[in-house]
């Protein structure tokens, strides 16, 4: 039988330093709420149950978590009386029984499932409590992990540490794994005899040691346990996440990033082998890019499926529902929304295509727009294969253009165009002899009068 694991995610902090109307843990890293990052890591580490302890905006927090884990249990910490008190808010989840208990913080979105798995492995090996530590550049202010012969003897708060202990750079990250069988007995022994009158999870180590239980620490990378308390720290965590993702793309996925630091990914961006991404590209959530595609500079892409060998941009915007089939092209200063381009279709420049389907090998000329919105409802434009849409065409949806049809430049298409037809919908040109010269003379006279008036005003 698989070993069971309960992860308790502490998400009840007020987050006042964020200066926000939203709960801190709902602020996003790579387009995903921090609490959802932590829940995802717990799940990948083998947690079959997730319990979230929330406070502010509790219903919104659990709703966010349940986008990924519908079975997530929810508990509310009515009073803020310390970390151990927060964990015990989920008492019912612990009492239901489990092999391992992981205690996580919803504002540490970079925690890696591999690290959590190592903590669980320590429990499997016989440890009763496994504390996750790290080595910060400056340990001042952090609790020190005091070890002897591989055992964790105590967590010493910085203010209580001796000079010798302050020289230790192995610090407490707060994340902890406990034996499911012994967790409640340990937690219930934690008291609040301290200056703040709070129940501290760190006291679990001393209690376990007194009971003769085995306590050990493992080391995580410092970036994994970086907490977010304000917008500056949120930006720093985002920067770290992006740096790691870019490196993964280049080394593990075979992606070429011309200027890595200028590319922004979302949490779920999927990139195929031999994709090339030029500078200043932003990937929002829900983007898949197929092998050999090229994303040119200054493009912004959200919710799009890009097939192999597609070219996008520069300066292109792809919105939700965009599908680009193999070999198709969306060129500079084009916007596509909820539309599909067939194989080898071309939308080269200065065009908007929304709520549309464009067939294979069709060419859409510069300045073409699909007029998809009538002020109340959206309507669809369907263009067949091998069609040619002349520049500066307005396609007033709902409308269709058949296979192999041609639409003349500057047309406003309000009726369906049959396959193989030529549609021209524009006024016939009229030339007025001498009218251009008259207009130019009128404009010169007006400019001269304006200059004369300005000169008089200056002299006055």
3-state helix, strand, coil in the chain (%, to 5): 25, 30, 45
Instruction: Please check if 350 is assigned to a binding site.
Output: no
Tokens 């679990």 locate to: 204
Q: Residue 79 and residue 94: Cα distance in Å, rounded?
A: 20
Assess whether 349 carries a catalytic annotation. yes
Distances (CA, A) of 312 to 150, 185, 261, 262: 55, 59, 20, 17
Q: Which structure tokens are listed for 127?
A: 């440890």
Instruction: Please check if 229 is assigned to a binding site.
Output: yes
Instruction: Please check if 230 is assigned to a binding site.
Output: no
Instruction: Please check if 372 is assigned to a binding site.
Output: yes
Instruction: Please check if 402 is assigned to a binding site.
Output: no
Instruction: Please check if 172 is assigned to a binding site.
Output: yes
**For the chain, first and last CA: distance in Å?**
98
Please say whether the beta carbons of 302 and 285 come within 8 A. yes
Instruction: Please check if 33 is assigned to a binding site.
Output: no
Residue in 27, 74, 85, 349 annotated catalytic: 349
* Long-range contacts, 300-305 (Cβ 8 Å, 24+): 304/336
Q: Residue 89 and residue 93: Cα distance in Å, rounded?
A: 9
Instruction: Please check if 194 is assigned to a binding site.
Output: no
Instruction: Please check if 11 is assigned to a binding site.
Output: yes
CA 222 to chain centre: 22
Q: Which structure tokens are listed for 189?
A: 């022994």
Instruction: Please check if 348 is assigned to a binding site.
Output: no
Instruction: Please check if 391 is assigned to a binding site.
Output: yes
Instruction: Please check if 143 is assigned to a binding site.
Output: yes
Which residues are known binding-site members for Mg(2+)?
107, 229
Active site residues: 349
Q: Which residues are annotated as a binding site?
A: 10-13, 24, 77, 82-83, 107, 143, 157, 172, 229, 319, 337, 352, 363, 366, 372-373, 391, 409, 426
Binding residue numbers for UDP-N-acetyl-alpha-D-glucosamine: 10-13, 24, 77, 82-83, 143, 157, 172, 229, 319, 337, 352, 363
């Amino acid at each position: 039988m698989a070993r069971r694991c309960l992860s308790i995610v502490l998400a009840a902090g007020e987050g006042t330093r964020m200066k926000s109307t939203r709960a801190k843990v709902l602020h996003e890293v790579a387009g995903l709420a921090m609490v959802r990052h932590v829940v995802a890591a717990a799940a990948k580490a083998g947690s079959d149950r997730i319990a979230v302890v929330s406070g502010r905006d509790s219903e919104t927090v659990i709703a966010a978590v349940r986008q990924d884990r519908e079975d997530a249990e929810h508990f509310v910490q009515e009073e803020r009386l310390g970390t151990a008190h927060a964990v015990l808010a989920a008492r019912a989840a612990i009492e239901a029984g489990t092999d391992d208990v992981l205690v996580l913080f919803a504002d540490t979105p970079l925690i890696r499932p591999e690290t959590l798995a190592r903590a669980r492995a320590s429990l499997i090996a016989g440890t009763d409590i496994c504390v996750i530590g790290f080595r910060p550049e400056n340990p001042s202010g952090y609790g020190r992990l005091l070890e002897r012969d591989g055992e964790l003897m105590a967590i010493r708060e910085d203010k209580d540490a001796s000079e010798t202990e302050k020289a230790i750079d192995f610090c407490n990250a707060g994340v902890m794994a406990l034996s499911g069988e012994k967790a409640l007995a340990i937690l219930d022994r934690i008291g609040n005899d301290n200056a703040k009158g709070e129940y501290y999870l760190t006291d679990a180590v001393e209690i376990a040691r007194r009971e003769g239980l085995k306590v050990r620490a493992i080391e995580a990378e410092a970036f994994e346990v970086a907490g977010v308390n304000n917008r500056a720290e949120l930006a720093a965590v985002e920067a770290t996440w992006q740096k790691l993702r870019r490196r993964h793309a280049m080394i593990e996925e075979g992606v070429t990033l011309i200027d890595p630091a200028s590319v922004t990914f979302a949490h779920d961006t999927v990139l195929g082998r031999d994709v090339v991404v030029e500078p200043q590209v932003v990937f929002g959530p829900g983007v898949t890019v197929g092998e050999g595609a090229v994303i040119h500079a200054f493009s912004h892409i959200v919710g799009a499926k890009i097939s192999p060998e597609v070219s996008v941009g520069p300066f292109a915007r792809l919105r939700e529902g965009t599908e680009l089939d193999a070999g198709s092209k969306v060129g500079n200063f084009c916007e596509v929304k909820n539309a599909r381009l067939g194989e080898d279709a071309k939308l080269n420049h200065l065009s908007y295509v929304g709520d549309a389907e464009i067939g294979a090998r069709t060419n859409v000329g510069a300045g073409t727009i699909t007029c998809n919105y009538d002020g109340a409802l959206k309507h669809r434009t369907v263009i067949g294969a091998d069609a040619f849409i002349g520049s500066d065409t307005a396609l007033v949806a709902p409308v269709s253009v058949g296979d192999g049809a041609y639409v003349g430049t500057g047309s406003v298409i309000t009726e369906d165009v049959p396959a193989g037809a030529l549609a021209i919908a524009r006024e016939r040109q009229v030339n007025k002899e001498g009218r251009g010269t008259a207009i130019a003379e009128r404009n010169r006279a007006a400019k001269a009068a304006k200059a004369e008036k300005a000169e008089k005003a200056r002299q006055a």
